Structure 1
Amino acid sequence: MSITKTVYDPLGNAIILSSDLLQLICIPNSDLCIDATLVITHPAMIFESTDGSLEKYYLRTVEWDNFILIAVKKVGENFISDYFQVNPPRERILGLIKNCRQIK
Protein backbone atom coordinates (compact mmCIF):
# COMPACT_ATOMS: atom_id res chain seq x y z
CA MET A 1 0.00 0.00 0.00
CA SER A 2 1.47 3.37 -0.96
CA ILE A 3 1.60 6.21 1.51
CA THR A 4 -0.29 9.39 0.63
CA LYS A 5 -0.98 12.77 2.19
CA THR A 6 -3.92 15.12 1.66
CA VAL A 7 -3.32 18.89 1.43
CA TYR A 8 -5.65 21.73 0.47
CA ASP A 9 -5.00 24.28 -2.24
CA PRO A 10 -5.90 27.98 -1.77
CA LEU A 11 -9.33 27.32 -3.32
CA GLY A 12 -10.19 24.61 -0.78
CA ASN A 13 -9.70 21.62 -3.09
CA ALA A 14 -8.34 18.50 -1.37
CA ILE A 15 -5.27 17.20 -3.22
CA ILE A 16 -3.93 13.71 -2.49
CA LEU A 17 -0.16 13.67 -2.88
CA SER A 18 1.36 10.38 -3.95
CA SER A 19 4.34 8.89 -2.14
CA ASP A 20 6.87 10.37 -4.60
CA LEU A 21 5.82 13.87 -3.45
CA LEU A 22 6.10 13.22 0.28
CA GLN A 23 9.83 13.91 0.21
CA LEU A 24 11.48 17.24 -0.52
CA ILE A 25 11.73 18.16 -4.19
CA CYS A 26 15.34 19.15 -4.85
CA ILE A 27 16.55 21.43 -7.61
CA PRO A 28 19.26 19.72 -9.72
CA ASN A 29 22.76 21.21 -9.42
CA SER A 30 21.68 23.23 -6.39
CA ASP A 31 21.28 23.01 -2.64
CA LEU A 32 17.68 24.25 -2.96
CA CYS A 33 14.81 21.97 -1.95
CA ILE A 34 11.09 22.60 -1.37
CA ASP A 35 8.33 20.67 0.31
CA ALA A 36 5.78 19.63 -2.35
CA THR A 37 2.93 20.62 -0.06
CA LEU A 38 4.03 24.26 -0.39
CA VAL A 39 3.61 24.07 -4.16
CA ILE A 40 -0.04 23.09 -3.63
CA THR A 41 -0.86 25.29 -0.62
CA HIS A 42 1.03 28.41 -1.80
CA PRO A 43 1.37 28.28 -5.60
CA ALA A 44 2.34 31.29 -7.69
CA MET A 45 -0.23 30.19 -10.30
CA ILE A 46 -2.91 27.53 -10.71
CA PHE A 47 -4.11 26.46 -14.14
CA GLU A 48 -7.18 24.36 -14.93
CA SER A 49 -7.54 22.34 -18.12
CA THR A 50 -10.30 23.38 -20.49
CA ASP A 51 -10.33 20.19 -22.55
CA GLY A 52 -12.49 18.15 -20.15
CA SER A 53 -9.56 16.17 -18.72
CA LEU A 54 -10.21 17.55 -15.21
CA GLU A 55 -6.55 18.39 -14.61
CA LYS A 56 -5.06 21.21 -12.56
CA TYR A 57 -1.49 22.46 -12.62
CA TYR A 58 0.24 24.15 -9.69
CA LEU A 59 3.29 26.28 -10.45
CA ARG A 60 5.63 27.75 -7.87
CA THR A 61 8.97 29.48 -8.10
CA VAL A 62 11.92 28.57 -5.92
CA GLU A 63 14.15 31.61 -5.60
CA TRP A 64 13.97 33.59 -8.86
CA ASP A 65 14.87 31.17 -11.60
CA ASN A 66 13.62 27.73 -10.60
CA PHE A 67 10.12 26.38 -11.06
CA ILE A 68 8.20 23.39 -9.73
CA LEU A 69 5.11 22.21 -11.62
CA ILE A 70 2.74 19.67 -10.06
CA ALA A 71 -0.08 18.21 -12.15
CA VAL A 72 -3.15 16.70 -10.48
CA LYS A 73 -6.03 14.80 -12.05
CA LYS A 74 -9.56 14.29 -10.77
CA VAL A 75 -10.23 10.63 -10.11
CA GLY A 76 -13.69 9.99 -8.77
CA GLU A 77 -14.28 12.68 -6.15
CA ASN A 78 -10.60 13.34 -5.46
CA PHE A 79 -7.74 15.22 -7.07
CA ILE A 80 -4.64 13.00 -7.08
CA SER A 81 -1.11 14.10 -7.95
CA ASP A 82 -0.20 12.79 -11.39
CA TYR A 83 3.39 13.98 -11.85
CA PHE A 84 5.75 16.82 -11.13
CA GLN A 85 8.46 18.59 -13.10
CA VAL A 86 11.42 20.59 -11.86
CA ASN A 87 12.17 23.49 -14.19
CA PRO A 88 9.68 22.50 -16.89
CA PRO A 89 10.55 23.77 -20.38
CA ARG A 90 9.30 27.27 -21.14
CA GLU A 91 7.17 25.78 -23.89
CA ARG A 92 5.31 23.72 -21.27
CA ILE A 93 4.48 26.81 -19.20
CA LEU A 94 3.49 28.75 -22.31
CA GLY A 95 1.25 25.83 -23.33
CA LEU A 96 -0.51 26.01 -19.95
CA ILE A 97 -1.01 29.75 -20.34
CA LYS A 98 -2.37 29.29 -23.86
CA ASN A 99 -4.50 26.16 -23.40
CA CYS A 100 -5.70 26.35 -19.81
CA ARG A 101 -7.63 28.74 -17.65
CA GLN A 102 -5.63 30.48 -14.95
CA ILE A 103 -7.59 30.32 -11.69
CA LYS A 104 -4.97 31.91 -9.43
Structure 2
Amino acid sequence: MSPSFRPRAPRPGPVKTQEELDEMVRRMKGEQKAPDNYRERSLKLHGWICAKCGREFDLANLHLLTVHHKDGNHNYNPPDGSNWENLCVYCHDDEHSRSILADYLRGDNRKK
Protein backbone atom coordinates (compact mmCIF):
# COMPACT_ATOMS: atom_id res chain seq x y z
CA MET A 1 0.00 0.00 0.00
CA SER A 2 1.46 3.38 -0.99
CA PRO A 3 1.48 6.33 1.40
CA SER A 4 -1.19 8.95 1.04
CA PHE A 5 -0.11 12.50 0.27
CA ARG A 6 -3.42 14.18 0.91
CA PRO A 7 -3.25 17.52 2.72
CA ARG A 8 -4.26 17.42 6.34
CA ALA A 9 -7.52 18.94 7.42
CA PRO A 10 -7.12 22.22 9.32
CA ARG A 11 -7.21 21.90 13.10
CA PRO A 12 -10.54 22.80 14.63
CA GLY A 13 -10.59 25.87 16.79
CA PRO A 14 -11.25 29.58 16.72
CA VAL A 15 -9.69 31.54 13.90
CA LYS A 16 -7.51 34.41 15.15
CA THR A 17 -7.77 37.89 13.71
CA GLN A 18 -4.71 39.67 12.36
CA GLU A 19 -4.70 41.92 15.44
CA GLU A 20 -4.67 38.88 17.73
CA LEU A 21 -1.81 37.33 15.76
CA ASP A 22 0.18 40.59 15.85
CA GLU A 23 -0.30 40.84 19.62
CA MET A 24 0.80 37.22 20.05
CA VAL A 25 3.99 37.89 18.06
CA ARG A 26 4.72 41.07 20.09
CA ARG A 27 4.26 39.15 23.35
CA MET A 28 6.50 36.28 22.20
CA LYS A 29 9.22 38.68 21.06
CA GLY A 30 9.05 40.47 24.39
CA GLU A 31 9.56 37.18 26.23
CA GLN A 32 12.70 36.34 24.28
CA LYS A 33 16.00 36.89 26.02
CA ALA A 34 17.83 39.86 24.56
CA PRO A 35 21.20 39.00 22.99
CA ASP A 36 24.20 39.79 25.15
CA ASN A 37 25.87 42.76 23.49
CA TYR A 38 29.14 42.65 25.40
CA ARG A 39 30.90 44.76 22.75
CA GLU A 40 28.81 47.83 23.51
CA ARG A 41 29.28 47.31 27.24
CA SER A 42 33.04 46.86 26.84
CA LEU A 43 33.33 50.02 24.75
CA LYS A 44 31.49 51.98 27.46
CA LEU A 45 33.58 50.49 30.27
CA HIS A 46 37.04 50.53 28.70
CA GLY A 47 36.75 53.37 26.20
CA TRP A 48 37.53 53.60 22.50
CA ILE A 49 41.22 52.79 22.81
CA CYS A 50 43.30 49.68 22.15
CA ALA A 51 44.56 48.25 25.46
CA LYS A 52 47.74 46.98 23.80
CA CYS A 53 49.03 49.63 21.38
CA GLY A 54 47.11 52.64 22.74
CA ARG A 55 45.57 53.63 19.40
CA GLU A 56 42.51 55.81 19.85
CA PHE A 57 39.39 55.34 17.76
CA ASP A 58 36.53 57.53 16.62
CA LEU A 59 33.19 56.78 15.03
CA ALA A 60 34.71 56.50 11.53
CA ASN A 61 37.08 53.64 12.47
CA LEU A 62 35.42 52.14 15.55
CA HIS A 63 34.68 48.97 13.58
CA LEU A 64 38.43 48.20 13.83
CA LEU A 65 38.23 47.96 17.63
CA THR A 66 37.33 44.48 18.87
CA VAL A 67 36.69 42.86 22.23
CA HIS A 68 39.17 40.19 23.30
CA HIS A 69 38.09 37.66 25.93
CA LYS A 70 41.11 37.29 28.22
CA ASP A 71 40.30 33.72 29.22
CA GLY A 72 39.20 32.70 25.70
CA ASN A 73 35.64 31.91 26.83
CA HIS A 74 33.21 33.97 24.74
CA ASN A 75 30.33 32.90 26.96
CA TYR A 76 31.89 34.35 30.13
CA ASN A 77 30.84 38.01 30.08
CA PRO A 78 30.81 39.37 33.64
CA PRO A 79 29.05 42.72 34.08
CA ASP A 80 32.22 44.35 35.44
CA GLY A 81 34.06 43.65 32.15
CA SER A 82 36.93 41.85 33.89
CA ASN A 83 37.21 39.24 31.11
CA TRP A 84 37.39 41.78 28.28
CA GLU A 85 39.95 44.07 26.78
CA ASN A 86 39.43 46.25 23.74
CA LEU A 87 42.03 45.51 21.09
CA CYS A 88 42.42 46.84 17.56
CA VAL A 89 42.14 44.16 14.89
CA TYR A 90 45.92 44.09 14.49
CA CYS A 91 46.67 43.57 18.18
CA HIS A 92 43.82 41.06 18.43
CA ASP A 93 45.33 39.00 15.60
CA ASP A 94 48.73 39.26 17.27
CA GLU A 95 47.30 38.10 20.60
CA HIS A 96 45.78 34.97 19.08
CA SER A 97 48.76 34.17 16.87
CA ARG A 98 51.05 34.31 19.91
CA SER A 99 49.13 31.52 21.61
CA ILE A 100 49.19 29.44 18.42
CA LEU A 101 52.95 29.97 18.11
CA ALA A 102 53.50 29.14 21.79
CA ASP A 103 51.53 25.90 21.43
CA TYR A 104 53.59 25.00 18.37
CA LEU A 105 56.91 25.72 20.09
CA ARG A 106 55.83 23.68 23.13
CA GLY A 107 55.01 20.79 20.82
CA ASP A 108 51.35 21.06 21.73
CA ASN A 109 49.92 21.18 18.20
CA ARG A 110 46.76 19.18 18.92
CA LYS A 111 43.47 20.38 17.47
CA LYS A 112 41.44 22.29 20.05
Give your verdict on TM over 0.5: no
TM-score interval (norm. to shorter): under 0.3
More strand by share: 1
Q: What is the TM-score of this pair, normalised by structure 1?
A: 0.27
Larger Rg: 2
